[in-house]
Amino acid sequence: MNKKIFNAIWIVAIVVFLASLIFIMGVSYNYFSGVQLKQLKTEAELASQGVSMSRLDYLNSLEAKDYRITWIDADGTVLFDNAINANEMENHMEREEIKEALADGYGESVRYSNTLSDKQLYSAIRLSDGSVIRLSSVQMAVWTLLMGFAQPICFVILIALALSFVLASRLTKRILTPINSIDPDDPLQHINEEEYKEIVPLLRRIQFQNEQLKRDQKEIEKAALIRQEFTANVSHELKTPLHAISGYAELLENEMVKEVDIKPFAGKIREESTRMTKLVEDIIDLTRLDNGGVDMKWEKCDIYRIAENAIDSLEVVASSLDVTVSIQGSDAPSLGVPQLLYSIIYNLCDNAIKYNHAGGSVEVTVQPKKYETIIIVKDTGIGISEESLERIFERFYRVDKSRSKEVGGTGLGLSIVKHAVMIHNGKIEVKSKVGEGTEMIVSIPNKQE
Question: Among residues 51, 59, 46, 69, which one has the least CA distance to residue 127?
Answer: 51
Regarding 338 and contact with ligand ADP (CB under 6 A), the answer is: no
Say if residues 346 and 417 touch (Cβ distance below 8 Å).
no
Q: Which of 68, 275, 398, 419 binds ligand ADP (CB under 6 A)?
A: 398
Regarding 392 and contact with ligand ADP (CB under 6 A), the answer is: yes
What's the CA gap between 380 and 360, in Å, rounded? 6
Q: Which of 48, 351, 373, 380 binds ligand ADP (CB under 6 A)?
A: 351
Regarding 318 and contact with ligand ADP (CB under 6 A), the answer is: no
Least separation, in Å, of the C-beta of 314 and ligand ADP?
Answer: 13
Question: Among residues 357, 358, 376, which one has the least CA distance to residue 366?
Answer: 376
Regarding 406 and contact with ligand ADP (CB under 6 A), the answer is: no
Q: CA separation (Å) from 405 to 261, 271, 398?
A: 22, 11, 9
* Residue closer to ligand ADP, measured from CB, 338 or 409: 409
What's the CA gap between 41 and 123, in Å, rounded? 6
* Residue closer to ligand ADP, measured from CB, 204 or 433: 433
Q: Could you write out the DSSP letters of every residue in 223-278?
A: HHHHHHHHHHHHHHHHHHHHHHHHHHHHHHHTT-S-GGGHHHHHHHHHHHHHHHHH
Regarding 410 and contact with ligand ADP (CB under 6 A), the answer is: yes
Residues facing 439 on adjacent strands: 378, 431
**Which range, of 27-35, 142-150, 286-294, 391-399, touches ligand ADP by CB under 6 A?**
391-399
What's the CA gap between 128 and 120, in Å, rounded? 26
Binding residue count for ligand ADP, defined by CB under 6 A:
23
Q: Which of 107, 241, 338, 413 binds ligand ADP (CB under 6 A)?
A: 413
* Residue closer to ligand ADP, measured from CB, 118 or 400: 400
Regarding 355 and contact with ligand ADP (CB under 6 A), the answer is: yes
Containing H/E element for 21? Answer: helix 2-61
What's the CA gap between 225 and 206, in Å, rounded? 28
Q: What is the CA radius of gyration of the chain?
A: 54
* Residue closer to ligand ADP, measured from CB, 132 or 323: 323
Regarding 275 and contact with ligand ADP (CB under 6 A), the answer is: no
Q: Could you write out the DSSP letters of every residue in 138-198?
A: EPPPHHHHHHHHHHHHHHHHHHHHHHHHHHHHHHHHHHHHHHHT--TTSGGGGTTSGGGGG
* Residue closer to ligand ADP, measured from CB, 190 or 278: 278
* Residue closer to ligand ADP, measured from CB, 269 or 440: 440
* Residue closer to ligand ADP, measured from CB, 62 or 399: 399
Q: Which of 234, 344, 352, 428 binds ligand ADP (CB under 6 A)?
A: 352
Q: Which of 399, 422, 423, 441 binds ligand ADP (CB under 6 A)?
A: 399
* Residue closer to ligand ADP, measured from CB, 107 or 381: 381
- The separation between CA 377 and the C-alpha centre of its own chain, rounded to angstroms, equals 48
* Residue closer to ligand ADP, measured from CB, 196 or 355: 355
What's the CA gap between 299 and 187, in Å, rounded? 50
Least separation, in Å, of the C-beta of 398 and ligand ADP?
Answer: 3
Q: Which of 48, 70, 136, 404 binds ligand ADP (CB under 6 A)?
A: 404
The residues binding ligand ADP (CB under 6 A) are: 347, 351-352, 355, 379, 381-384, 392, 397-400, 404, 409-415, 438
